[in-house]
Chains A and B, each alone.
Chain A
Amino acid sequence: MAFVTANWNPLGEAFYRKVELYDMSWKLKESLREYLIAAAPYGGPIALLKGYQGRSPSTRPQLEIFSASGVPMASFPWKSGLVKQLGWTVSDDLLCVQEDGTVLVYDLLGGFKRHFSMGNEVSQSQVMETKIFHSPYGTGVAILTGALRFTLATNIDDIKLKRLPEVPGLEGAPTCWAVLTQDRQSKVMVANGYHLFILDNTSCTSVTPPGLSPQASSILHMCVSFSYKYLAILTDSGHVWMGTSNLKEKISEVDTNIRNPPKQMAWHEASQQSSVVIMWDRLLLVVGECKEIIQYPLDSDSVLVPEMDGVRIINETHHELLQEVPGACEEIFKIASMAPGALLLEAHKEYEKESQKADEYLREIKEQNLLAEAVKQCVEAAGHEYEPETQKTLLRAASFGKCFLSNFPPELFISMCRDLRVLNAVRDYTVGMPLTHTQFKQMTIQVLIDRLVHRKLYPLAIEVCRYLKTPEYQGVSRVLKHWACYKVQQKEESDEVIAKTVNMRLADASGISYSEIATKAYESGRTELAIKLLEYEPRSGEQVPLLLKMKKSPLALSKAIESGDTDLVYTVVMYLKNELNRGDFFMMLRNQPVALSLYRQFCKHQELNTLMDLFNQDDNHQELGNYYVKASYNEPRLEARVALLQSSVDEFNKAKNEFAAKATEEEMRLLRFQRKLEEAKGEPLLGFSLHDTITALLSVGLHKHAEQLYKDFRVSDKRFWWLKLKALAEKGDWDELEKFAKSKKSPIGYLPFVEVCIKHQNKHEARKYVSRVTPEQKVKAHLAVGDLQSATEAAIERRNESEINTVLSRCSATTDVILVERLNRAKATAAKK
């Protein structure tokens, strides 16, 4: 505690510190330089591949994966091709880039996941160098091929290969290169001697960093910061140029006085004094913007792992974090600091010693009104400290200070306590995730839980979720689901036992999808277990896709119907249609009316023939009959049409639907008649209804034929009379009409005659029929022809009040005074009666 500042080094205004994270528990047989190595950021795992240079093809190199604390997680002999580069994805998968451009993907426990290729061009000209990079779009791979061209994929989960343009004047491998993400695009920066180029999708641009010292003749190394904002370049004159990665601004240039090429470079973006960390064989330099340098000697081969808030240094025995001392820590621990936090810490120390000095310190803070500030500083500093003891001391001081504040919001303190507890748990060397508080906040709790799940640390993950009160759906349930997916792959246990255990564990967790777990079980070849698990799935809709996949189609169909989701039923029906032979398919549908009616709908639009087969199988003669009738609509040729109708007659007969059969037969007769007449008289008739046919015949004067239809088809008298009446009036054939009226007694009376004539504005003709109208309709008839006088007579004669009223309403008060009077009188008498 007293020596907090022991490992601090000043750099300009700021301090840098190197914190020991772990003693590596790996027992490496050889020096690190013998390995191909990849360490994931955010305290991720480390992968090592020995003998990667493939000196003897017969020996199989060993691929090993360790946690950041050196605990072995996986190890297996490498059996594939020559590996050029290892790297980790954002989701903890290991990428192994082979010489031929094939990339193999493993999970962090060494399980093979998949592989993909970086394209033909790469496999032909072989991989020369590779860089694996992270961007907001995921993990990307950039490859420099033997043909000195770059190929790049920005996101390996959605591979779109881009071949970048050629670099002019490049004859051998470039001295160095880096990938940066700018303007939502991945670019490559290449140094060829003193020349610097930026390659994007379409062009290759030559660039010069502003203010780069002219004495250099070659760029030896370069690195881009974690956020892609800054760039550092080391030249053979020993100068480090620091600036923004868009090359618009130079921040600083420092002479290191070392001229040989470094092994590795890394940016450390800090709040006060950013720096570039450069590593040579036995030397580590921290070059600050302020042009000061800190030197650290190295005893053994090391690897730099850039983080967002520091650089981790891994060697055979140790794992350290190099970072600028965070502001709060500096304020508190700096020697002779008078910052409020420092005073509060001091006050608390004195308080523990039961010394009255505590009060003095406190007073000093309170007088400046800085107590809240002091508490905040202590809390913040606790977050940046690694030693639990130091964390505790700081938090205690904060808690102490808080007592003297009346309304200090407690959230800050509480959440820091919680975060630290979680962080300390995952930093434990058995877990081995040396996350800083800043990194933890950046990666979010969800991702942390994912990482724990990837490491199969289910109990810890659940504890963390419960402790941080993560909503169940995102927290505990998710972990349990992963656990269950893992559990069902354990071959040694029986289906019953696993199903039972899974159900027991998951019983009260909400939002669990059993179907996902069942899918996992099925994928690992345990169909029976999958079916058992599916039984637990409450939503039947979720069960269906998997049941189909497992070829349990009848079960899937009934589950789909049970779910009430027709879309799902459709899915199954379509699947079955392709899966089963037609007979079995129809049989299955037969027992499921809902599915059947859906399929019928589909067939109506897509496969009319199938529809017919369906009806046939069901002996549904009624529908078959209807089907043929419908089919006949679209048939232009008469013979075919009649044939179709004949089929429908047969079907209707089978269906014992005599009415339909007869109607159809008549239609056939009608069609034949129409055709005959069409041929003989040239009148277009085909397709007309009986009514329309007769109308058409009458209107062209084919009365005989009309009569024939009338008789043959037993058209009702009333209809025929209406028909003929209208047709004749339409034609204005008044003589014929009169003849017709006299031919026999009209079954529809004579009022229609009057009305139809009036409709055709022929009052004269209308009058002819008025006399023949029945007494009940006389008034109406008279009114229709506008004969008020007679209407009045008729109405009065019939002594019908409503009729009198009708007539009255038609009389005008000025011209028909006499009539009105008569009517009113008659009305009075009628009313009296």
Chain B
Amino acid sequence: MAQTERRDAPELPDFSLLKRLARDQLIFLLEQLPGRKDLFIDADLMSPLDRIANVTILKQHEVDKLYKVELKPIFSSSDQLCFLIRPRIQTVKWISDLVNSDKAAGRFRKYKIIFTPQKFYACETVLEEQGVFGDVTTDEWNFYILPLDDDILSLELPEFFRDNFLEGDQRWVTTGGGALHLLQSVYGSFSKVYGIGRCAKMVYETWREQMEDGDQRTKQPEFAKVFLIDRDVDFITPLCSQVVYEGLVDDIFRIKCGSVEFGPDVTSSDKSIKVMLNSQDKVFNEIRNEHFSNVFGFLSQKAKNLQTAYDKRRGMDIQQMKAFVADELKGLKQEHRLLSLHIGACESMMKKKTKQDFQELLKTEHSLLEGFEIRECITSIEEHINRQVSMIESLRLLCLLSLTENGLLSKDYRSLKAQYLQSYGIDHLLTFANLRQLGLLVEQQPGETLTVMESRVGKLVNDKTVGKLTDAFSSLAKKSNFRALSKRLALVPKSGDEYDLRVPRDMAYVFSGAYIPLSCKLIEQVLERDGWTGLEEVTRMLNGHEFAVTAVGNSSEARTKTDAQRIILVMFLGGCTYSEISALRYLGKERGCRFIILTTAITSSARLLEALLDNHA
């Protein structure tokens, strides 16, 4: 049952090159400030940085002490301070205050700010306004992409989602373009680009501009096709409970930058253990894409096999034993360790997930996706809120309800919101404002039919100049049209059929056979049709902004390695979930191609909603 790769699956490009490039540049930048220095690092850059250059490397380049940026006064005796930060106004402000207080104390130090992945003018403005522009030197570390695994590349920019979709701040668009440009310059140019979403289109545009500016090398491409997709094209998928092993681990333990910390309840000892979760972990690699219900059986089988392997020792002569200890034992021990960890994790998840609450939650979720017994669903959501089960989970269900039902009836909208406020406080008034703005939780608008909306959107798209300006706000009045989409794309398999989760039939297996992720379905359809033809109605319901471009004057199509033709880069703008990755891996296996995921960050329902909270904390 373990998923085995098809034999003809194309080889993936070697992404460790990206790490090396980033490391070399970082070292170069550190050397620009010769002498011993203290390094301050943005908290969320710590883990990514560790993947690129560990403490030893930093120490080799005269970094004395490492600090986390905490936006508090610092105690450093070094004469040279180096800051490695994301270009955020807040952090820059903090640095300015620091410089100013040093100045007031008559202390002279050298300051260097390294922005990653790029500088923003706004940050420099802050330095200028605070009067410290001349006191600090600034630099850019173009660390766009962190390879999390063989097929997952991440920009590690969780704030992309909120900034871009909620605040209408398009700063990060250039970053997205930059990342694609980087990939292209290292791995060769793409022959075909598809995309959907306003942000996707903008990213493509900036990328194209960078492409035109730079030199055009015609290198043998290592992957030929790119698919860009906005997160707001599909909000439903990330809001569903994840039931594939990797997704579930993320939901429960939160995978951070490709590694997870298993607490004492998993490790069955008194300390936590940090584990890297990627294809290097052989046990994990075999179960990551499996539906949770299969995992336990698989693990116990694995344990038995392991035992047999250990048992081989008996009846060995000295020579054989020597060979066994030298060659196999270490591997077995390693596997043993991992196996016991995953079994521990499994148990801990079992405890949480087989509880009645979770089962009922799943049932509600599936009813919502299928669109029946909506009243019962509302009641159970209400109970969920009333019992104060979980702030985020309740919100998640509310959003799912609104998305699948194209908004709530006025009465329900008010009463559920009121209930929620009673449970979790008035602060969430702002959260609701945000959700409404994004179209995640809205009131059904009486009198406004679909056609009116459509003609309005249509007008915006046609009139280019108006389009550019108002595009940013067209999403405000967006409707999800989930029912119609679901019907058209057959996202919800007919209920009643038994779905054997051991032998996945389609991508729906990642949601227990209840729902095929919309994002992945779109990708499948577009790749199959080599464009958007035949999907006009779908794109209209998704608010348009679709595009498909073949590289101009590019005869490389013919020259392209056939392998490269079967490697597809999918870029999620605003984050993607592990379930989607699993679904795409499945699709790849079915079609004999491989998908590489490039995402602004790994997301999950909790992360997505937490980004939209505006409460006191």
Contact = CB atoms under 8 A, between A and B. Distances in A.
B418 A663 contact: yes
A629 interface: yes
A561 B388 CA distance: 46
B437 to A, nearest CB: 10
A663 B426 contact: yes
Contacts, number: 121
B174 A567 contact: yes
A602 B423 CA distance: 33
Nearest to A577: B125
B170 A688 contact: no
Contacts of B206: 564-565
Interface in A583-606: 592-594, 597-598, 600-602, 605-606
A246 B208 CA distance: 55
B93 to A, nearest CB: 7
B573 to A, nearest CB: 15
B386 A593 contact: no
Scoring B122, B167, B169, B209 by chain A CB atoms within 10 A of each residue's CB, the highest score goes to B122
B390 interface: no
B461 interface: no
B469 interface: yes
A58 interface: no
Contacts of A690: 421-423, 425
B90 A597 contact: no
B12 interface: no
A622 B433 contact: yes
B470 to A, nearest CB: 7
Given A567-B121, A570-B125, A633-B427, A593 B171 contact: no
B90 to A, nearest CB: 6
Contacts of B125: 570, 574, 602
Interface string B604-617: 00000000001010
Contact of B429 (A568, A663, A691): A663
B424 to A, nearest CB: 5
A601 B126 CA distance: 13
B173 A566 contact: yes
Interface stretch (A236-244, A366-374, A500-508, A715-723): A715-723
B589 interface: no
B472 interface: yes
A629 B174 contact: no
Interface in A579-632: 592-594, 597-598, 600-602, 605-606, 622, 626, 629-630
B187 interface: no
Interface size of B as a range: 35 or more
A722 B424 contact: no
Interface in B242-294: none
B419 A716 contact: yes
A566 B177 CA distance: 13
Interface in A654-688: 659-660, 663-664, 666-667, 687-688
A601 B164 CA distance: 11
Central interface residue in B174, B383, B387, by most chain A CB within 10 Å: B387
A713 interface: yes
Interface residues of A, number: 45
A528 interface: no
B89 A602 contact: yes
Interface string B446-484: 000000000000000000000011101100000000000
A218 interface: no
B296 interface: no
Interface string A701-741: 00000000000010110110010000000000000000000
A660 B432 CA distance: 10
Given A593-B469, A597-B169, A691-B424, A570 B122 contact: yes
B537 interface: no
A562 interface: yes
B406 to A, nearest CB: 20
Contacts of A664: 426, 429
B433 A626 contact: yes
B121 A564 contact: no
A630 B170 contact: no
Nearest to A473: B215
A25 interface: no
Given A689-B422, A689-B424, A564 B202 contact: yes
Interface string B579-603: 0000000000000000000000000
Contact of A564 (B205, B417, B470): B205
Given A574-B125, A659-B414, A718 B383 contact: yes
B67 interface: no
A514 to B, nearest CB: 15
B260 to A, nearest CB: 29
A743 B348 CA distance: 40
Nearest to B413: A659
B423 A689 contact: yes
A605 B472 contact: no
A566 B424 contact: no
Interface in B133-191: 163, 167-171, 173-174
Contacts of B122: 567, 570, 574, 598, 602
Given A626-B433, A659-B417, A719-B422, A597 B120 contact: no
Contacts of A213: none
B172 to A, nearest CB: 9
B430 interface: yes
A571 interface: yes
A565 B121 CA distance: 11
Given A565-B174, A605-B93, A718-B383, A713 B422 contact: yes
A597 B174 contact: no
Contacts of A722: 386-387
B121 A571 contact: yes
B174 A566 contact: yes
B169 A691 contact: no
Given A605-B89, A722-B386, A594 B429 contact: no
Nearest to A645: B426
A597 B167 contact: yes
Contacts of A719: 386-387, 419, 422-423
A564 B173 contact: yes
Interface in B426-442: 426-427, 429-430, 433
A597 B388 contact: no
A539 B387 CA distance: 58
Contacts of A561: 468-469
A573 to B, nearest CB: 9
Interface in A529-574: 539, 561-562, 564-568, 570-571, 574
Interface in A6-58: none
A598 B169 contact: yes
Q: Which of B120, B167, B421 has the most CB of A within 10 A?
A: B421
A594 B472 contact: yes
A562 B465 CA distance: 9
A718 to B, nearest CB: 5
A56 B469 CA distance: 71
Interface string A280-307: 0000000000000000000000000000
A687 B424 CA distance: 11
Contact of A688 (B163, B171, B425, B469): B425
A563 to B, nearest CB: 9
Nearest to B615: A633
A666 B120 CA distance: 43
A691 B126 CA distance: 42
Interface of A: 539, 561-562, 564-568, 570-571, 574, 592-594, 597-598, 600-602, 605-606, 622, 626, 629-630, 633, 659-660, 663-664, 666-667, 687-692, 713, 715-716, 718-719, 722, 748
9 contacts: A539-B209, A567-B121, A626-B614, A663-B417, A716-B386, A719-B386, A719-B419, A719-B423, A748-B383
Given A594-B472, A602-B125, A622-B433, 15 more contacts: A539-B209, A564-B205, A564-B206, A567-B120, A567-B121, A574-B122, A594-B469, A597-B167, A601-B169, A626-B433, A660-B429, A663-B418, A667-B426, A689-B421, A689-B424
